[in-house]
Amino acid sequence: MDSHNQSKNSNSIEDIFDSSLNLEQTHLKEGYDEGYAHGLATGKEEAKDVGLKHGFETGEELGFYKGCVDVWNSAIRIAPTRFSARVRKGIKQMEELIEKYPVNDPENESVQEIMGALRLKFRIIRAALGVKLEYDGYPKPIEIEF
C-alpha cells in the first residue's frame, strides 16, 4: 500500500508540473476558441449588413431602369412616331431583361450578366434619345483636362 501511495503522490506532482507547463498552450487554445466564436458571430453580422446594402442597391438600380422603361412606354403610347423602331426594340429588350432578373435568387450566375446588359441597353437608349439621364448610383467619371 505504501508504494501505491507513493505512486499516487508522484502522479499528482507530475500532474501539477504538466498543467503548469501546458498553461500557455491551454490559454492559447482558449483564446483561439473565444476569438473564433466571436469572429464567427461578428462575421455573420457584417455579412448580413453587406448583403442588405448590396440587395438594396441592386433593387434601387433595377427600380430606376423599370421606371425609365415605364415612362418611355407611356411616351410611346402617346406619340409612337417620336421613337424609332430601334429605340422601341431596345426598350422592349430592357423590359425583358428586368423581368428576367432573378430577384429571388441572388446567387444565380446570370445576375452580373443581366445587370451588365441592362446598363448597356440603358446607355444605348439614352444616347439614341439624346437624353442626359443618369442613374445616381453609378460612380461619376473623373473629368480629365489637358
Q: Amino acid identity of 85?
A: A
Q: Which three cell numbers stand for residue 102?
A: 432573378
With 0-12 / 13-18 / 19 or more C-beta atoms within 10 angstroms meaning exposed / middle / buried, residue 19 is: exposed
Q: Amino acid identity of 103?
A: V
Residue whose entry in the numeric block shows the C-alpha cell 504538466: 18
Q: Which three cell numbers stand for residue 38?
A: 466571436
pLDDT at 146 over 70: no
Q: Which three cell numbers stand for residue 56?
A: 438594396
Average pLDDT, stretch 74-84? 92
Measured from the Cβ of residue 91, the count of other Cβ atoms closer than 10 Å reads 24
Summarised one tens digit per residue, pLDDT across range 103-144 is 888 788 888 899 999 999 999 999 998 888 777 765 555 554
Summarised one tens digit per residue, pLDDT across range 13-67 is 666 666 666 777 777 788 888 888 888 778 888 888 888 888 888 889 999 999 9
**pTM recorded for the entire structure:** 0.66
